[in-house]
């Protein structure tokens, strides 16, 4: 017995060792088998990282696992991934491993696919990416005798944690299946067999940009008869769960040469209204297990016919509910008197003949009854809509009766009685003559709060009147924050805006008694209004859907710290841009006109504006507007009126105020009656201290005109002239928005303002022309407006003026001396030729000589007695005069130098 046990144990050990070692022995053969199958089966690029063999996991069968399988298409989908599979495993008999490539077909008993991503695609030319199988010659081979292929005799198969995407560019169909888990059992190799499947997945389906299923949860427990010979698949005992709606269906799908032949009927097995709530995705309907319902709900239908390139199956689907109601236990309101009578029909098999009839859709919340009916035809082409809405809806009751999570609070009452008849092409092409709207919609006591606005918008009353071809806004009264609005107007394409991606077009007249711009702006940082969400504040943008003209008339508009009165003008909103036309306002005790645009298409909004200012109060405007304050900081020392024309452009901040460093443009300014208050500007006080001959509060600025340009944060002022008494002044230079200055002021100063020494020289010269002499004194103004630095060339100017005056005096003395000399010489020559030489003649010459000396010594006409004895005779009077003149010249030079030194000091 022990021997038998021993032999048995050794045998089992050998078997186990063989099972462990075999995969290594057959590794190469297995890889060759997979590679050979791939090469002979598909027309695509197939790669895998490894192929492994195990006898233990599926004993007594062998398990072959392919890791990281990737299938990539050839043209016309070159380089696109058809499928990627993390693991693909096959269970098969061990004897199948010993077959050669040209032996009988290999049978696979089970397949397991894990984490597969499959993308099925049809391009606009009708090519499909999944048609990668290599065709076989049907005359020489059949499914049962063809070599180098698998016989799928599958006892079980499974797909776990996988996803499938189907894209049809030709038909504009998209389907995404995620979280796919599917299992099945069956015998595929038999002519007639049965397949038992169990499927769970989330499905999203859209057609022509309309999403019909949105991540809806689907479950399917299906028993399917397989007629492989006739490619017919019959559904029996099938139960599906769409969201939470149970559906039972039966029928068949058969593959035919041109497509599929379908004959399926379905219905929900129950009949309570809770089944209707089950159709709605759980994300929106929440938990319906405890919802109280009354009344019935039934959905049934039949789909029968062929799916080909030109036909679809006929459709007869009905949805009905009578006198139903529901109430969520945690909510206050009940929805009752629910009546639904709707159908989806197609009797011809032509897709264009599919239509939806909503004969009745009624419900009641509290005392508010809402009724609707509609007919929608020609779904796939130019859709035709005929609808009627009649009833009252209290918006506040929506969230009190149904667990919808509104992003923003809604309050208000809608009353509607509207009939509309249109086709989609008319909306898309703005063919208003084909849009038949009649009726009226009224909104009252509407309150809307959102993170996009600072304060809730309260609409007291709004009335919209529908007429063929046009919609009129007959009444609109609203308030937000401190702002009130009253509007009327016309809307050209409201349906196009609601039903498609068309812009909202219209013309509106808006009036307001008090309009505060900040009421419509987002506050940044942590000081957000309490009604705002936690969404981050972003720069305001002009909505892209607006394409309208607004004529505005507001009595008071408050912008930042500025109050504008009697604001009038027009505004065009289009392509995320606002254009201002002939906007005028009373502000700063004058009038402001504006023309320009604001562009919010890019991340940073931009503006370009022409401003006209007439009779502006200088002090108020320059203190109230940061823009003007930066352009001319010195203006806060001026009192009076201003006319100006400014063109400027640049970037806007998140609060729609200009970013100063980005501004460029130019301005032309004219000062009217003005008064200077130097104590309000340190630069003027500093200028008074540097130039003691000027008192800046006496400057004459009346009718002063100047032009300037600004760019990259720098203001350049072109030369302009002004006067102080009889002093002419020329100013030019630049400053930055950082207040750093670089200016020159040239004062054309008459000589009389330049000190006592200069005035004494002028008095000695005693000439009217001398009184008109003026010299330029340049004041260089640097530093900042708060700490100005002023330097002048006053010292050198006075020195130059003094030298000029001395030169003039000298020239006058020389001229006067020359005249005297000529007279003396003439007299002297006359005496020598015609008179006797006696003591009397000698005495007569002495006064003349003394007079010349007086002139040359600066004492001409003084009447003083001569310093030398006149009784002495001058034997050579000409020589004596010339010698005397030479001595006096030297003396005058010394006097000039002394005078300059004294004046400078």
CB crowding 301-310: b at 16 or more within 10 Å, else e: bbbebbbeee
> Residue 463 — pLDDT band, cuts 50, 70, 90?
very high
pLDDT at 108 (0 to 100):
74
Positive/negative CA dihedral, 816, 820, 825, 826: positive
Please count the other Cβ atoms lying within 10 Å of the Cβ belonging to residue 855: 21
* Residue 55 in this model has a pLDDT that exceeds 70: no
pLDDT at 766 (0 to 100):
63
Sequence ranges of the domains in the chain: 32-171, 407-536, 541-676, 794-904
Side-chain half-sphere exposure of 375, counting CA atoms within 13 A: 7
State percent of the chain over pLDDT 90.
21
Helix (H) or strand (E) holding 638: strand 638-651
Across the chain, mean pLDDT equals: 77
- What does the pLDDT average to over 61-71? 84
* Residue 433 in this model has a pLDDT that exceeds 80: no
Task: Give, to the nearest 10 degrees, the angle between helix 794-834 and helix 839-856.
Answer: 170
Q: Which of helix, strand or coil describes residue 286?
A: coil
Left (φ > 0), alpha (ψ -120 to 50) or beta: where does 739 sit?
left
pLDDT at 337 (0 to 100):
94
DSSP secondary structure string for all residues of 438-460: EEEEEEEEEEE--TTSSS-EEEE
> Residue 275 — pLDDT band, cuts 50, 70, 90?
confident
Q: How far is CA 388 from CA 345, 419, 462, 515, in A?
A: 20, 4, 20, 38
Please count the other Cβ atoms lying within 10 Å of the Cβ belonging to residue 618: 28
> Residue 827 — pLDDT band, cuts 50, 70, 90?
low
Query: CA 342, CA 335: separation in Å to the nearest integer?
Result: 19
Q: What is the pLDDT of residues 276-320, one digit of tens each?
A: 887 776 667 777 888 999 998 999 999 999 988 888 899 999 999
Nearest in space to 694 (alpha carbons), one of 749, 634, 772, 744: 749
8 A C-beta contact, residue 412 and residue 396: yes
Positive/negative CA dihedral, 849, 854, 857, 860: negative
* Cα 449-454-459 angle, rounded to 5 deg: 45
85 has which bridge partners? 69, 116
Nearest in space to 857 (alpha carbons), one of 886, 877, 900, 879: 886
Please count the other Cβ atoms lying within 10 Å of the Cβ belonging to residue 829: 12
Q: What is the pLDDT of residues 539-592, one digit of tens each?
A: 567 777 788 899 999 999 887 778 889 999 998 988 888 898 999 999 888 899
621: tokens are: 């405007």
* Cα 815-816-822 angle, rounded to 5 deg: 90
The strand pair at 292-294 and 314-327 is best described as: antiparallel
8 A C-beta contact, residue 615 and residue 589: yes
pLDDT at 99 (0 to 100):
60
pLDDT at 904 (0 to 100):
38
Q: What is the pLDDT of residues 162-200, one digit of tens each?
A: 999 999 887 788 899 999 999 988 766 666 778 888 999
Positive/negative CA dihedral, 241, 245, 251, 255: negative
8 A C-beta contact, residue 274 and residue 293: yes
> Residue 905 — pLDDT band, cuts 50, 70, 90?
very low
Nearest in space to 739 (alpha carbons), one of 684, 782, 706: 782
> Residue 104 — pLDDT band, cuts 50, 70, 90?
low
8 A C-beta contact, residue 603 and residue 653: no
Q: Which residue has the higher pLDDT, 685 or 717?
A: 717
Query: CA 698, CA 682: separation in Å to the nearest integer?
Result: 16
Q: What is the pLDDT of residues 355-407, one digit of tens each?
A: 999 999 999 998 899 999 999 988 878 889 999 999 999 988 988 898 887 77
Q: What is the pLDDT of residues 634-660, one digit of tens each?
A: 766 677 788 888 888 888 887 677 888
């Amino acid at each position: 017995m022990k021997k038998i046990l021993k032999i048995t144990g050794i045998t089992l050990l050998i078997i186990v060792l063989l099972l462990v070692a075999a995969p290594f022995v057959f590794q190469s053969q297995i890889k060759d088998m997979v590679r050979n199958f791939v090469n002979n089966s598909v027309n695509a690029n197939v790669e895998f990282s490894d192929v492994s063999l195990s006898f233990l996991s599926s004993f007594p069968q062998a398990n072959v696992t392919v890791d990281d399988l990737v299938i990539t298409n050839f043209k016309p989908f070159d380089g696109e991934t058809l499928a990627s599979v993390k693991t693909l495993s096959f269970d098969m008999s061990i004897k199948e491993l010993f077959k050669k490539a040209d032996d009988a077909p290999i049978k696979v008993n089970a397949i397991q696919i894990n984490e597969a991503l499959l993308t099925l695609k049809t391009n606009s030319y009708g090519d499909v990416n999944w048609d990668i199988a290599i065709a076989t010659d049907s005359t020489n081979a059949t499914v049962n005798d063809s070599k180098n292929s698998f016989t799928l005799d599958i006892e079980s198969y499974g797909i776990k944690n996988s996803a499938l995407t189907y894209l049809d560019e030709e038909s504009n169909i998209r389907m995404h299946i995620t979280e796919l888990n599917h299992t099945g059992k069956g015998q595929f190799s038999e002519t007639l067999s049965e397949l038992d499947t169990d499927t769970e997945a989330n499905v999203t389906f859209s057609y022509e940009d309309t999403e019909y299923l949105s991540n809806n949860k689907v479950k399917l427990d299906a028993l399917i008869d397989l007629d492989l010979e006739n490619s017919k698949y019959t559904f029996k005992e099938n139960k599906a769960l769409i969201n939470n709606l149970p559906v039972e269906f039966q029928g068949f799908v058969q593959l035919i040469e041109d497509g599929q032949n379908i004959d399926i009927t379905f219905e929900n097995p129950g009949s309570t209204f809770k089944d209707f709530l089950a159709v709605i995705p759980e994300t929106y309907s929440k938990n319906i297990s405890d919802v109280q319902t009354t009344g019935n709900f039934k959905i049934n239908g039949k789909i029968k016919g062929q799916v080909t390139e030109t036909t679809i199956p006929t459709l007869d689907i009905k949805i009905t509910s009578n006198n139903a109601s529901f109430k969520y236990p945690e909510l206050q309101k009940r929805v009752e008197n629910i009546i639904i009578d709707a159908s989806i029909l197609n009797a011809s098999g032509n897709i264009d003949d599919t239509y939806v009839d909503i004969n009745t859709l009624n419900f009641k919340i509290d005392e508010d009854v809402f009724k609707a009916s509609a007919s929608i035809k020609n779904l796939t082409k130019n859709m035709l809509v005929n609808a009627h809405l009649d009833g009252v809806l209290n918006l506040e009751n929506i969230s009190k009766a149904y667990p919808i999570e509104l992003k923003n609070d809604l309050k208000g009452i809608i009353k509607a009685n509207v009939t509309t008849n249109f086709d989609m092409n008319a909306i898309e092409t703005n063919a208003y003559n084909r849009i038949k709207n009649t009726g009226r919609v009224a909104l009252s006591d509407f309150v809307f709060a959102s993170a996009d606005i600072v304060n809730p918008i309260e609409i007291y009353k709004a009335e919209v009147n529908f007429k063929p071809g046009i919609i009129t806004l007959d009444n609109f009264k609203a308030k937000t924050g401190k702002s009130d609005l009253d509007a009327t107007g016309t809307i050209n394409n409201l349906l196009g805006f609601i039903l498609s991606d068309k812009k909202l077009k219209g013309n509106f007249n808006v009036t307001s008694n008090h309009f505060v711009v900040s009421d419509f702006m987002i506050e940044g940082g942590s000081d957000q209004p309490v009604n705002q969400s936690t969404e981050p504040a972003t720069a305001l943008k002009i909505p892209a859907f607006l394409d309208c003209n607004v004529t505005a008339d507001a009595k008071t508009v408050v912008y930042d710290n500025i109050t504008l009165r009697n604001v009038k003008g027009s505004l065009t909103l289009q392509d995320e841009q606002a254009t201002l036309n002939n906007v005028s306002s009373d502000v700063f005790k004058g009038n402001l006109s504006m023309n320009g645009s604001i562009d919010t298409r890019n991340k940073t909004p931009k503006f370009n504006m022409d401003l006209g200012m007439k009779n502006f109060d200088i002090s108020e405007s320059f203190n109230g507007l940061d823009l003007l304050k930066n352009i001319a900081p010195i203006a806060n020392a001026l009192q009076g009126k201003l006319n100006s024309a400014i063109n400027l452009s640049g970037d806007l901040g998140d609060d729609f105020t200009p970013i100063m460093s980005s501004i460029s443009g130019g301005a032309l300014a004219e000062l009217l009656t003005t008064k200077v208050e130097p104590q309000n500007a340190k630069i003027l006080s500093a200028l008074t201290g540097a130039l003691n001959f000027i008192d800046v509060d006496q400057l004459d600025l009346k009718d002063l005109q100047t032009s300037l340009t600004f760019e990259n944060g720098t203001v350049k002022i072109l030369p302009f002239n002004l006067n102080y008494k009889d002093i002419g002044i020329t100013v030019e230079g630049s400053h930055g928005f950082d207040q750093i200055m670089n200016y020159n002021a040239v004062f054309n100063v008459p000589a009389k303002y330049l000190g006592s020494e200069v005035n004494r020289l002028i008095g000695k010269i005693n000439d009217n022309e001398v009184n008109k002499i003026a010299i330029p004194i340049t004041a260089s103004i640097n530093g900042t407006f708060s700490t100005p630095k002023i330097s002048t060339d006053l010292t050198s100017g006075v020195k130059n003026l003094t030298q000029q005056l001395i030169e003039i005096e000298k020239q006058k003395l020389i001229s006067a001396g020359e005249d005297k000399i000529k007279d003396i010489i003439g007299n002297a020559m006359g005496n020598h030729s015609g008179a006797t030489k006696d003591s009397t003649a000698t005495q007569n010459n002495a006064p003349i000589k003394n007079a010349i000396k007086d002139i040359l010594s600066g004492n001409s006409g003084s009447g003083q007695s001569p310093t030398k004895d006149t009784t002495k005779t001058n034997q050579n009077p000409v020589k004596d005069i010339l010698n005397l003149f030479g001595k006096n010249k030297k003396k005058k030079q010394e006097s000039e130098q002394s005078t300059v030194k004294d004046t400078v000091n």
